[in-house]
Amino acid sequence: MTMWVFGYGSLVWNPGFETEEQVIATLPGYARSFCMRSIHHRGTDENPGLVLALDAAPGASCLGVALSVGEAAQDRVLAYLRERELISSAYLERMLDVDLVDGRRVRAVTYVVDKDHVQYCGGLPLEDQAEIIARAVGGRGPNTEYLYNTASHLGALGITDPDLDWLSARVREMAP
């Protein structure tokens, strides 16, 4: 049996595991946004950055990538994802239906934000997001790198996200 993982941020450009298939996919009922403070990967406790998360929103949908993992690698990949994504328990692991661009519907391991977690910061104005992203640095590097890589890789796949495009342009104006 194949395990699927839904990627909408860094999993699109840096999954960290081998995939058998990568297919454009839509996750209904969730919106991608910089709604989670990052205190490990793209910021610190003293200077938090922002990372993308999936925020439940009626009528919304998120376009991303479904990544398939072969049966032999599933336990290893799931352990890796849990170590990476659940580092501060701000994400919740869910099995959600995603619609693949080729017409298939699959259940995918998906990490969504916990709105009750202290790192949740939904609703920040884009200008505030840009100011935070322009200056934050964490264990995996500058917050700007995370933004630029995500926006450019989504764009290369034909996935447009107006907020990410605006943030990329604005942060380039602000960043040193």
The catalytic residue positions are 85
31 strand-pairing partners:
55
Residues 138 and 49: their CA atoms lie apart, in Å, by: 8
* Cβ atoms within 10 Å of 55's Cβ, excluding its own: 19
Sign of the CA dihedral 56, 62, 50, 4? positive
- Given a contact cutoff of 8 angstroms between Cβ atoms, the answer to whether 154 and 164 are in contact is yes
- Given a contact cutoff of 8 angstroms between Cβ atoms, the answer to whether 108 and 81 are in contact is no
- List the structure tokens of 129: 């997001």
